[in-house]
Amino acid sequence: MSKRFLNIMWLLATCFYVVAYAELLPPFQTSQTGTPMADTSYNTINTVLSQAPWFKFTWESLKLPNDEIMDRAAMMVSAKLPDTDTRFQHMVFQLDTGANMSLLYEISAHDQLPAALYASTDRPLSSLMLQFDGPFQNTVKFELLKNFGEQADSSPEAADSVPEIGTLGMDFFANAGAGFAIDYKNQHIYILSRKLLDNIMTPYPDHFMTYQETYQGMKGKILLPIKIDDVEELVIFDTGSSMAELITPPPLWQQITGLNTGNPTVKRFVAPSWGKQMTVLRGEVDKKIYIAGQWEQLKEVQTAIPYPGGDVSIIGNGLFFDDVIVVDTVNKKFGLFQRSAK
């Protein structure tokens, strides 16, 4: 199993300390009927986004042990060093809002970067000027993750395969602009100025909610209040969690799905996480999540045994594959724009 798969599953081992007390969450406001309402705002924000610098992301697929293919297992971003020769034409980073800092993997970096930039493991890199796949260039600060990553496969069959070199976390966005937008369908990331954010937020305040950045030892997160049926929960918005719409602790998973973790007929697969094995359980549901003034369709909820994430739940990319997410990292606002009601 590749180390990139380990990184995709990192969230189940590193998200902890969050307890979703319902009394800490702001009151929810829904339509009187409690049903999705038509949303025409999606079309109008495209004009604003077209004025922002952007770059592309791609989906990386993953084959599970049961041979099922997850087509959108991770959000990957390509970049290169301007005017600098590297081993490959580009480098590959995972886009991960669940990480509060951007990480450079020591083994991968040592294998891919020029010696002039990375001469010794005793001299961690502090920053790299990167040109992304689109009209966006910026200096990115990194923390070095020692003894992690992988060297490139030298076989002819893997000539086009570039090992992941690092993670772009929330500090990447905070240093790039006042906020960002993710257009999932078109696979674009937009870096937004204060003016462009205001042009989106001012006419559509009901599409935004305030998020918490810190909570009980955690920092640099996007912590959102959501509602599923009569359950109110605090969740992390984590783009590093592409294999699930929602991941919850086992007790909440049983409550939402109506399934029992001990039932042998429940869909499951074994996944590695930082050198340990865990069993991931999958439960199909037909429910609605209320988030940022919108309703999203929830089709699957996952949990893991053992569950290493304490009491925290996580929302991944799976809820938003047809939507645009807008985040104001300065004022801590999370916005959701749908192509159609759900």
- Do 172 and 295 have their domain in common? no
| Amino acid 53: pLDDT | 98
- Do 59 and 132 have their domain in common? yes
Full-model pTM: 0.85
Tens of each residue's pLDDT in the chain, 342 residues: 444 444 444 444 443 333 332 233 333 333 333 333 345 787 789 999 999 999 999 999 888 777 888 888 889 999 998 877 767 778 999 999 999 999 999 889 888 887 667 554 455 567 889 999 999 999 999 988 888 888 877 665 555 678 899 999 999 999 999 999 999 999 999 999 999 999 999 999 999 999 999 877 788 999 999 999 888 999 999 998 777 899 999 999 999 999 999 888 899 888 766 557 788 899 999 999 999 999 999 999 999 888 766 788 999 999 999 999 999 999 999 999 998 766
| Amino acid 57: pLDDT | 97
- Do 41 and 67 have their domain in common? no
- Do 149 and 212 have their domain in common? no
User: Residue 247 domain-assigned?
Assistant: yes
DSSP 143-201: EEETT-S-PPP-SGGGTT---EEEEE-HHHHHHH-SEEEEETTTTEEEEE-HHHHHHHH
- Do 321 and 208 have their domain in common? yes
CATH number at residue 103: 2.40.70
| Amino acid 24: pLDDT | 33
Q: Which helix (H) or strand (E) holds 7?
A: helix 3-8
Q: How many domains does the chain have?
A: 2
User: Residue 192 domain-assigned?
Assistant: no
- What pLDDT, in 10s, does the model give residues 214-265? 877 788 999 999 999 888 999 999 998 777 899 999 999 999 999 999 888 8
User: Residue 63 domain-assigned?
Assistant: yes
Q: Which domain holds residue 86?
A: 54-176
| Amino acid 111: pLDDT | 86
Cβ atoms of 49 and 55 within 8 Å: the answer is no
| Amino acid 118: pLDDT | 59
User: Residue 195 domain-assigned?
Assistant: no
- Do 330 and 218 have their domain in common? yes
Which candidate, 173, 183, 166, places its Cα nearest to that of 79? Answer: 166
